[in-house]
Chain A
């Protein structure tokens, strides 16, 4: 399949939904196959893909369920094809099985998660309740890379980056969006990666290699189950070591006016937009607020957050999220030992606006 066709041409400003941005970015990144199953709010990724993909010689299969969508991606990437899927909510739950296998077999799987309300079928609209599932779901150690986006520009940028990360490091990689980002329309710039000097990491097969077995190559035997405890132990420790080694290269975050902050607002994804607005409004009222946003939820920018706390001397931190403490728990385990007082603004399944954060901050002073 031809992956290096120019999809976008000249960089162009566009006004798109987030799902549309995912599709264009996946095409521009050279994705060759999508496997998917309908679930709101990611459906339009499939809708746009099925309209555009044939024009660029890319493939699609609507599978019988999310389990199958995840496992067909696992199969396709083993065959050396840049494949991906997109899902949400209960679909993300089902896909933990193939995501776990991708973790165990170090498959370059890339998936887009557009969070919806939970638990269970919840709402089809919006939440940040799939943080725990996406970062640490499955019966493993969370050796995954999770980018939490806040704007359509980031959806585009990190979809391209997500494929590259997956194929470079071979840890399953996720773009964690949400229903608002999926469905809303917002301006962004689309570009072909090479226009920005972004090198596309080449794909390669793990199975179906060139050559003749027994003459000039050995057969490949991939597996995810071991007879001995010690075998598995060695594998997991090796993964952990590699994951920790590459983490500094992967960690991304945004820090806004934390240098002299008395209070730090910690949030991720789309909520960070409200946090930044709140900082602006609070500063205008003489309240020294700053904001910190992990872009990678895995690996988490824990050293950077500790540093922001240390240099500011902030005594308080507000963790704001559209979930009931998922970012909160993630953060606390990462910055264990810090004595900064943490308060919360938990709004599971609903949006958070600057007004909510400003009010909460004022109540904390």
Chain B
């Protein structure tokens, strides 16, 4: 019998998971689970999730987990890490939680080079609340609160988080943007982001471009096309800052 490869750090009683079909969260969380297994940090990992679709991961892992208010995952993880530096803290949030309501926390945690790992899933909208405009919504993109398409004249241009965090952080920080369409690269970036915390170098951040067919109202083909043809050109994928240097990642 062939058993599907399930990360050891997944919490099986909560599977199958609760995300919509075609949602990118499952891919990110699989990559994260495999990374936790690979680094053998399951027992000392504290996984913290935000409100929004990311909250559906609150019992996703067989790791100690906590869940907070919208935008407040960053300070909760900072509090845990400051209290118990031996723990590995992973904050998991969406683009609204990180770049909008929790942006002051994200920005200041980056400036202070807090030794936490934050993963931000960018699907260009507020998924859980029904598909409103997010800081990352692309120009012209239709959402529930931009029914005629996002007009940058009115609401500005999409937030490029890793770019501004790169400017804010000192050496030692790790900043990258991955995409669910490049799984191996996603795994590598997550591994580096966690290694960076384990080595005590400082702030580690990975934005992951993800999919939301439910709110995008797209079929499989359109979903993938939007991710690769619309999002990836606007949000360039790669490592923006890494203490491991070019090619330093395994």
Task: Bits for A47-86, please: 1 = Cβ < 8 Å to B, else 0.
Answer: 0000000000001010111011001111111111101000
Known contacts: A76-B83, A225-B51. The answer to whether A219 contacts B68 by CB under 8 A is: no
A224 to B68, CA, bound (A): 7
Residue on A nearest B72 in the bound complex, by CB = A71
Q: Mark B44-77, 1 if CB is under 8 A from A, else 0.
A: 1010100100010011011111111100101111
- Contact yes or no, B72 A225, CB < 8 A: no
Chain A, Cβ-Cβ closest to B105: A68
A224 to B77, CA, bound (A): 16
Q: Are A63 and B108 in contact (CB under 8 A)?
A: yes
- CB pair B83–A83 under 8 Å, yes or no, is yes
Q: Whose C-beta in chain A lies nearest to the C-beta of B61?
A: A219
**Known contacts A68-B105, A97-B72, A207 near B80 by CB under 8 Å:** yes
Taking CB atoms, residues of chain A closer than 8 Å to B65 are 207, 219-222
Inter-subunit contact A225/B79 (CB<8 Å): no
Q: B79–A83 contact, CB under 8 A?
A: yes
Within 8 Å of chain A (Cβ to Cβ): is B209? no
A208 within 8 A of B: yes
A284 vs B139: C-alpha distance in the bound complex, in angstroms? Answer: 79
Number of interface residues of A (CB under 8 A): 42
- A73: B residues at CB distance < 8 A: 79
Most chain A beta-carbon contacts within 10 A, residue among B42, B55, B80: B80
**Which residues of A have CB within 8 Å of B151?**
none
Known: A81-B84, A208-B64, A208-B87. A219 touches B79 (CB 8 A): no
B43 at the interface (CB under 8 A from A): yes
Name the segment of A209-217, A234-242, A306-314, A316-324 touching the other chain: A209-217
Q: Do residues B105 and A97 form an inter-chain contact, with CB atoms below 8 A?
A: no
Min C-beta distance of A166 to chain B, whole Å: 15
Interface size, chain B (Cβ < 8 Å): 37
Q: Are A68 and B108 in contact (CB under 8 A)?
A: yes
| Listed residue (B48, B79, B81) with the most chain A CB atoms within 10 angstroms of its CB | B79
Residue B82 interfacial (CB < 8 Å): yes
B37 to chain A, nearest CB (A): 12
- In this complex, the member of B8, B11, B43 whose beta carbon has the largest number of chain A beta carbons within 10 angstroms is B43
**Given A81-B84, A97-B69: A71 and B64 interface contact (C-beta under 8 Å):** no
Q: Which residue of A lies closest to B67 (CB)?
A: A223
A162 contacts the other chain (CB 8 A): no
Residues in A neighbouring B55, C-beta threshold 8 A: 223, 225
B155 within 8 A of A: no
Complex contact B87–A219 (CB within 8 A): no
Known A68-B104, A219-B11, A221-B11; 12 more pairs at CB < 8 Å: A59-B83, A64-B105, A65-B104, A71-B68, A71-B69, A71-B76, A72-B79, A80-B84, A213-B42, A221-B59, A224-B68, A224-B69
Cross-chain pairs A/B with CB under 8 angstroms, 12 sampled: A32-B83, A75-B66, A75-B79, A97-B69, A101-B72, A208-B80, A213-B62, A219-B61, A220-B64, A220-B66, A224-B67, A225-B58
Q: What is B's interface to A at a CB cutoff of 8 Å?
A: 8, 11, 42-44, 46, 48, 51, 55, 58-59, 61-69, 72, 74-84, 87, 104-105, 107-108
8 closest pairs, A vs B, by CB? A75-B79, A72-B79, A81-B83, A64-B108, A71-B75, A76-B83, A75-B76, A79-B83
